[in-house]
Amino acid sequence: MRKTYALIQIAMALMADASGRHWGYELSKQSGVRSGVMYPALQRMLERGWLSDGWEEQAQDEKGGRPPRRYYELTDDGKSALGALIAEARRDARFSAVMAGQAVRGLA
């Protein structure tokens, strides 16, 4: 996958809670990437097996009546691929601004 600012931002947001479940809206807020860029990136990660997805059960929904949401989880492949990607970006001067921005968000 081509290394872009958005990809690094999404990778850092995902790796901030590598074993947790991630939801579209929260992930967009956390990474600072708008959904028009984030969802296609998530789709490419799914296709490469870096993420797995699922739908929350109704019981998880504390406020009844809302439709179940789709969640994303990092696979082992995804953890190592995104870990490597972030490590590369840390060494790459082009991504220093992204790293600084994510540090402000508490993700770096």
Q: Which positions touch other proteins (CB under 8 A)?
A: 1, 23-26, 34-36, 39-40, 43, 46-49, 53, 55, 66-70, 77
Cβ closest to other proteins, residue 20 vs residue 49? 49
In the bound complex, what is the minimum distance in angstroms from residue 77's beta carbon to other proteins?
7
Cβ closest to other proteins, residue 76 vs residue 100? 76
Q: What angle do CA 53, 57, 61 make, to 5 degrees?
A: 115
* E strand spans, the chain: 21-23, 51-55, 70-74
Rg (C-alpha) for the chain, rounded Å, is 14
In the bound complex, what is the minimum distance in angstroms from residue 6's beta carbon to other proteins?
13
In the bound complex, what is the minimum distance in angstroms from residue 85's beta carbon to other proteins?
14
In the bound complex, what is the minimum distance in angstroms from residue 30's beta carbon to other proteins?
13
Asked if 67 contacts 56 with a C-beta cutoff of 8 angstroms, the reply is no
Cβ closest to other proteins, residue 52 vs residue 83? 52
Show the tokens assigned to 60. 């998880």
